[in-house]
Each structure stands twice: as structure tokens, then as C-alpha cells.
Amino acid sequence: MTTGVLVHFKKKIIHLNSGNITIRQMQPGDIRRVLNIEQKNFLIPWSTRAFSFELKKNPHSLTLVAESDGKLIGYSVAYILVDEMHLVNLSVDKDFHRQKIGQLLLVTNIDYAKQRECQSITLEVRKSNWAAIGLYQKFGFSQTGLRRRYYEPNGEDALIMYKAIRSESSH
């Protein structure tokens, strides 16, 4: 069972202009809808097996979904490794782009990292994904490196982005 349980995030409802959005821990029954979004948004999508592993076997994995009126519209997967979070997957249904769903998932991950007293968050993003890069920069991420030919099948480079964070208790 995953040890990164979000007890107090599990039922948190955040109100946006687009309606009620709920961020909660991903459940095995969510995988089919998560895969639907994953397959639409990525050239080489994660598999059912990959998401199942994150949910059931990876004790370092934090898996979240965003719902609107009971419909799953986005998700994220991050790893907590000692005092660092590594955001490995964040995606939103194309019908819900530009409605701050990705921002809400990102903020929830940042808040969780602070609660776990992580010192930093890292991620990779396609060099051509200006919307995602802008979102990450808006929340204090900066480019710290480049992974050449990181993304398959076209060999696109990935920007390595980093955000230093402080726990709420250190203020």
C-alpha cells in the first residue's frame, strides 16, 4: 500500500470559476480514465501496469487526481525521496485546459512537499511546452539543466526545473 496518504487533502474541495474541483488520492478504479487522458496527451503514454505500480507497490509515490462534478479531469504522479519531491507526470484532459486544473494539481503537490518537509522539487518538461514552462516559472521553478534527447520518439530535449521550498514550520 502507498505510504504517501493525503488524509487532509483527500476530501478538500477547492472552488474555481469552472465549478467545484476536488483533488484526492488516485484509486485503482481511476486508472482507466487516467489512461484515457494519458493516451490523448502523450506520444508514448504510461501503461496500466505503470500506474498500478505507482498505486500499489511504490512506497515513495504520491498519486493525485482532479475531479469536476465526479468526472476525472487531471492527475499527477510525484516521488518523495528523502527530502526531495520529483514530479514525474502531470496531465489535464484537453477539454479542461486553461482552467487552472494543472495549477491546482501543482499547488497541491507543492503543499504536500512542504508538509513532508521536502527541501526541493524537481521535474523535467519538454523544451517546446511553453504553457507548462510558464506555469512552473509562475510558481518559482527555474531551469537548472537540460537533458538532451530525453523524450521519445522524437528525441526532444527536456528542461530540468528546480524549486527550493521551505516547510511551513520554518517560517
Which residues form the catalytic set? 124, 136
Cell numbers given for 122: 524537481
Tell me how crowded residue 120 is: count the other CB atoms within 10 A of its CB.
Answer: 14
Half-sphere CA count of 161, side-chain side, radius 13 A: 23
Contact 2, 55 (CB under 8 A): yes
Cis peptide before 59 (omega within 30 of 0): no
Checking DSSP bridges between strand 84-92 and strand 120-126, what pairing results, if any?
parallel
Cell numbers given for 105: 494539481
In whole angstroms, give the CA distance from residue 161 to residue 8: 28
